[in-house]
Chains A and B, each alone.
Chain A
Amino acid sequence: MVYTELLFFLGVLPVSVLLSFLDRSAEYKNLILIITSAAFISWGKPMWCLLFFLTTVSEYLIGLGIGALRDKSRPAAGLLLFVDLAVNIAVFLLLAQSTLFSEGSIFRIKEAYIPIGAAWYTAKGFSYSFDVFTGRCKAEKNIFCLLTYMVSYHFIMAGPVARYGDIEPQLRRRAITGKKLSDGLDRFIIGLGKAVILAPCFGKIMTAGLEHNDMTLAGSWIGMLAFLAQCWFGFTGLCDMAKGLGLLNGFEYEDNYRDLSTGNMLGGFVRSANTSFIKLTEDFFRLFTRGNAFFGAVCSLIGCVCVALWYNVSKTYAAVGIALGTVLMIERLIPEEGKKRIPQLFKIVYVFLLGLLILGGLRFTTVNGYKEWLFSLFGSGNEYILTKALKQVLLENMFLVILSFCYVCVPVKKLISGLVRKIEQGSVQGLAVMRIGRTVLTACVLLMCVIELAAQRVA
């Protein structure tokens, strides 16, 4: 089951939230979450895939061990941490990257049997042991709380790698208030709109621009930008949905992405997505750098490769990770003062071009494909400028493209939100119009998503 399935958000989710209201105790709410999360993860799959819950037991025991040894013997605690890392990497390879194993191998698990969100599950598991090791949180003695943290469906898919130290108080005591319900529904529906309406729209534009035997100049640029926009809206849509689901269950945690910014060069741009996982890898490598700037830069490179491989263990992702990591490493070696002196316009152009060239590599599986696109990008080998298909798709989705631009472009977004705030603060009528208007728009987005998903199903 995934977040964008009708059966989930019109079936499992309402049942889960309504059942949570029946009792105010956090224990009861946790129990409901565990049961519904088990259904979410194993829906339509054999229940044995829930065995991966068993790794929670290993996390629990290793966490207790690290907690006990942390002050007495640091190396022993470190060894336990590496054992935990090895366990999580093994689970990750087995469940999230099972295709790496050959067809006849016993480690090759059928796609249909793999539980959902295994990569996020392992990242969270390691983050818990790591936080116990660094003293960010205490070793959990109540396995029930740890289980809730590990398997809750709102943490499972592209949500932030919420650290146990931040979540632990909410696992023991939380309330589902009217504001949380309202914000949660808003956030979930916005995320749903991004994933169901915007991302596929950019997918169409990308297809028309890039998946063509005769590459065109405009197709290369627009198609690749559409590809990146598709990835961005797909990812942030899932993050928004995860955050919304968390709020509906009474949890509040940090966002997993932030507005795109060029202030901190390409490094800042990359960190604007998947913020929490990148922060986890940075924290982990900081253990080894001990403030050394050069080693810190080298660790940026290693961290980048790790994040890329975590998404997909393939040559393409490894190559993109290395390229991105190299740029980030160089950027880290530039003094902060020097970075501040660089004109903003130059930063924008630099981030735009370099981001496009490096991240664009994710779209291709062969070097030749990438090379062809690269040449086409600069006008080489292009016989034409624009295809009719691309023009047509752009026109058909023009309003969505404009809307997306306003959402992604930070100055425009700030301008619009400033105007809305001004109207809201101007008078009670203004506030009413804006708030009711937003509610109506959100409801419309929800209905559009439901119709779109239902149409896809019946098609």
Chain B
Amino acid sequence: MEKYTDVDLSGYREAEEMPEECPESEEALEEISERSENEKFTFINAVILGVVVLACAAYFISMTSSKRYGDEGNKFSVERLTNGKYTAEISKRYYSSIAYPEGIKNLAEKLRLFYGLTEEERETDLTPEETKPAEPVTVSETTGAQGGHQEKEVTTAADDDKKEDGEKTKASSTTAEKYSTYFYHTTTLPDDSDEDSEGEETTTTNNDKPNVSATTTEKQTERVTKAATDSSEQSGESSESGGEPVVSDSGAGGDSSSSSPDQQAAGQ
């Protein structure tokens, strides 16, 4: 009596042999490995950024003290919470407790140097040019087709103080923002009517247009002559050369960080 049945293995015998390494499995393995690599770096990314955020948070919170000023602290009450005073006080204390304020300000200033070409670098580039006396603009230049180049100091200020002729004007305001404008003229015509062109320092504090006119050139890009002058150099020569007076521009806004050393000199 047979208790077992025959198993037909002919189908298996005829089947193709499985290769030792099939491309599909290799692809799958590669994908899994790539995914695990990616996940590993995702994890590292999350951990590093999370730690930085938490470290910064802990630093700022640790600096905040509720009794920093010797007062009774920010007392909690429903009334203070509902009228917003409680949370406003938390903000106030949080921001006023920032440690090393000068250090942070200096650090921020230093970081801004990475955003572009720094003041120092440009200063060294421009110093030889700027310290040069202003080139007088000759008649041929002013009337010809060649582009000139003038510098105009514009100091934005909230109040303008007109001083006597020949006396340097200082425009000051707490919110004053300084501009030093660096104009690229197409051509420049000397203004004979300019009464400041007698060797006196030319400073004005109004918003009048500068005593230089410009006309259209035939070849605008042919030549741009650099004649950078700072305000302290805007003496008789610069006036003769069509140099621009110091102008206080009360209407303009701007960023104080854009003031250059020569502007600061003009402001002092």
Contacts and interface: CB of A to CB of B under 8 A. Distances in A.
A383 B260 CA distance: 23
Contacts of B61: 10-11
B53 A204 contact: no
A115 to B, nearest CB: 11
Closest 7 CB pairs of A and B: A388-B182, A455-B108, A384-B183, A458-B101, A398-B116, A387-B181, A435-B41
Nearest to A9: B53
B119 to A, nearest CB: 7
15 contacts: A10-B53, A11-B94, A45-B84, A182-B43, A186-B45, A208-B258, A384-B185, A387-B154, A387-B182, A389-B182, A392-B122, A392-B182, A396-B115, A439-B44, A458-B95
A254 B111 CA distance: 34
Interface string B204-228: 0001011011100000000000000
Interface in A382-415: 383-389, 391-401
A80 B89 CA distance: 43
Interface in B137-188: 151-152, 154, 179-186
Contact of A446 (B52, B115, B179, B210): B52
Given A186-B45, A388-B182, A428-B37, A14 B53 contact: yes
Interface of B: 37-39, 41-46, 48-50, 52-54, 56-57, 60-61, 81-84, 87-88, 90-91, 94-95, 98, 101, 104-105, 107-109, 111-112, 114-119, 122, 151-152, 154, 179-186, 207, 209-210, 212-214, 249, 251-255, 257-258, 260
Nearest to A200: B255
Nearest to A189: B49
Contacts of A447: 52, 56
Contacts of A216: 183
A42 interface: yes
B87 A213 contact: no
Chain B interface mostly helix, strand, loop or mixed? helix
* Among B39, B94, B109, B115: residue with most chain A CB under 10 A: B115
Contacts of B44: 435-436, 439
A47 B214 contact: no
A43 B87 contact: yes
A46 interface: yes
Given A182-B42, A396-B115, A440-B48, 4 more contacts: A14-B57, A47-B82, A208-B255, A454-B98
A11 B45 CA distance: 21
A185 interface: yes
B179 to A, nearest CB: 4
Contacts of A201: 115
B209 A383 contact: yes
A395 B105 contact: no
A85 interface: no
A9 B49 CA distance: 13
* Among B41, B122, B181: residue with most chain A CB under 10 A: B181
B60 A6 contact: yes
A169 B94 CA distance: 38
Contacts of A141: none
Nearest to B59: A10
